[in-house]
Structure 1
Amino acid sequence: MALVVLVGVGAILFWMFDEVEEAPSPAERGAVEQVLNPSADGGEGSVETPEEQKPEEVEPDVVVPTVDN
Structure 2
Amino acid sequence: MNQKQFWQLIEAARNQASNPDDGEDVARRATSQLATHSAEEIVAAQQVLWDLRGRISTEHDRLISAGQAWSSSE
Which structure ranks higher in relative contact order (CA pairs < 8 Å, sequence separation ≥ 6)? 2
User: TM above 0.5, one fold?
Assistant: no
TM-score (norm 1): 0.37
User: Bigger radius of gyration, 1 or 2?
Assistant: 1
